Each structure stands twice: as structure tokens, then as C-alpha cells.
């Protein structure tokens, strides 16, 4: 009798209780699958946008987004316009593949390093032409525009290292300290954000600022005016309240 009472209290032997737990588990599994599918759709759309906007050529560059403890990432060597739901690629924060059969991007160490060390939910890496050009000329993008403040301050250039290596990931992390974007020497850009839209917008802003600096610095006999740290701080504070509320 005592055993029957214990079973009733903890739910054992109660088919109704078991069914309810099963339904909750199934519902949670469906919600996770739906969230992953939506995130994958957004990732593919963002990857295609990098091509359309001229930030990458072919299959260069890569995009990732975090859903829980799973990182969805573009596969290596697959044109973005061919990606479908069947091509989903997901890895754990330890790099172990948990979704899909296609191999993840060769730059996976760089993406995972960002997620491990920051609160980023999305990362965009491109070979944007103006930004790449700037990365070969200076150790950091001069503060040519107040949008520098939106990236946390003057954008640094991470020293060159072979793509896909832990060395490149380490160099990138140092350049990203207190920043949401950086340049990779002779390589391209990395930007992260709370969403794919934000990471992409930061990438586009960085490319635009690099273009502006190259244009201004190309005028013979003239030197571009740059913004002081105080001006950048003012801009950063003002930009925190930019846009619609809610």
C-alpha cells in the first residue's frame, strides 16, 4: 500500500502523467526543430545577401548563427544559391557536428572562438574588397566616421595567419576585444551581433567606412580629418538610443 502511494505521488504507474510528459517532450522537440529551421532560413538568406551585395565572391566568406548550444554554419564549398533545408549544418560549441552530413566551413574555429568568448548570437565573415584593401595598408581603420563608435571604437586589424587555423582565431579574438568587428590582414572582415541582421549590418557599415577612408586618403595633397576619442565616445553613446523603441 505504501508503495502504491509513493507511485501515485511521483507519477509512476499513472498513464495520464506519462502521456502528459511525453506530449511536453514532443512539443519541446518540435519547437526546437522549428527554431533551427527558421534560423537556417535566415542564415541562408544572409549568406546569399553577402554575394548579392558584393561582399564575397563565389563560396568565400561564411555565416553562422547560434541556437541554444548549437551553431548553424554554412558548409564548405557549396554555393549559397544551392543551399536548401536538406543542407543544414550544425555543430556543438566543442566543434562536434550534430546536424547534417555536409562538412562545415573551414573557418569553423574562428566562429566557435567568437561564441565561446562573447555573448554573440551570429557571426558574419566576408572578403569585402574595400575592407580587405584597408587590411593590407594600416594596423587599424582610422576613425573616419562616427559609425566607428557603433563597433565599439577604432577597428583593429588582426595579424595575418592561414585561414582556418587556431592562430587566425586567436589573432581575431585579440582584435575583437571590446569590439563587435575587426579586419583580418590580407583576408577580410569579421563581425558579430545579437542577430544575423545586426552582424550583417555591422559588416556592411565596416565595408562602407573602409571605402570612405580609401576615397578620402586617395586625394593628392590632402589628409582626411579623423575623429577624436571624445567624439567617438559621444557618437557611441548617442547611437545606443538610435532607432525605434520596443
Q: Which residues are known catalytic residues?
A: 107
User: Residue 24 — φ and ψ, nearest 5°?
Assistant: -65, -40
The length of the chain in residues reads 246
Q: Which of 191, 179, 83 is nearest to 128 (CA)?
A: 191
Among candidate residues 116, 78, 77, 109, the one with its CA nearest the CA of residue 95? 109
Strand pairing category for 122-126 and 62-67: antiparallel
Contacts (Cβ under 8 Å, ≥6 apart) of 81: 48, 51
Contact present, 191 and 180 (Cβ < 8 Å): yes
* Pairing of β 157-158 and β 181-184: parallel
Quick check: 90 and 59 in contact, CB under 8 A?
A: no
Amino acid at each position: 500500500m505504501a508503495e502504491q502511494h509513493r507511485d501515485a505521488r511521483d507519477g509512476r504507474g499513472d498513464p495520464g502523467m506519462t502521456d502528459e510528459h511525453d506530449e511536453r517532450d514532443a512539443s519541446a522537440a518540435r519547437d526546437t526543430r522549428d527554431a533551427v529551421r527558421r534560423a537556417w532560413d535566415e542564415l541562408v538568406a544572409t549568406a546569399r545577401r553577402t554575394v548579392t551585395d558584393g561582399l564575397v565572391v563565389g563560396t568565400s566568406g561564411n555565416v553562422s548563427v547560434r541556437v541554444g548550444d548549437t551553431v548553424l554554419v554554412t558548409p564548405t564549398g557549396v554555393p549559397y544559391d544551392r543551399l536548401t533545408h536538406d543542407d543544414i549544418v550544425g555543430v556543438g560549441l566543442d566543434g562536434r557536428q550534430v546536424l547534417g552530413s555536409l562538412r562545415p566551413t573551414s573557418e569553423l574555429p574562428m566562429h566557435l572562438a567568437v561564441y565561446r568568448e562573447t555573448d554573440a548570437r551570429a557571426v558574419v565573415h566576408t572578403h569585402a574588397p574595400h575592407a580587405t584593401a584597408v587590411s593590407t595598408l594600416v594596423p587599424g581603420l582610422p576613425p573616419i566616421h562616427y559609425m566607428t563608435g557603433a563597433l565599439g571604437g577604432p577597428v583593429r586589424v588582426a595579424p595575418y595567419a592561414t585561414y582556418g587555423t587556431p592562430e587566425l582565431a586567436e589573432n581575431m579574438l585579440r582584435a575583437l576585444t571590446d569590439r563587435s568587428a575587426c579586419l583580418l590582414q590580407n583576408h577580410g572582415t569579421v563581425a558579430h551581433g545579437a542577430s544575423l541582421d545586426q552582424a550583417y549590418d555591422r559588416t556592411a557599415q565596416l565595408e562602407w567606412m573602409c571605402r570612405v577612408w580609401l576615397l578620402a586618403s586617395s586625394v593628392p595633397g590632402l589628409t582626411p580629418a579623423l575623429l577624436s576619442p571624445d567624439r567617438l565616445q559621444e557618437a557611441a553613446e548617442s547611437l545606443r538610443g538610435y532607432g525605434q523603441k520596443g
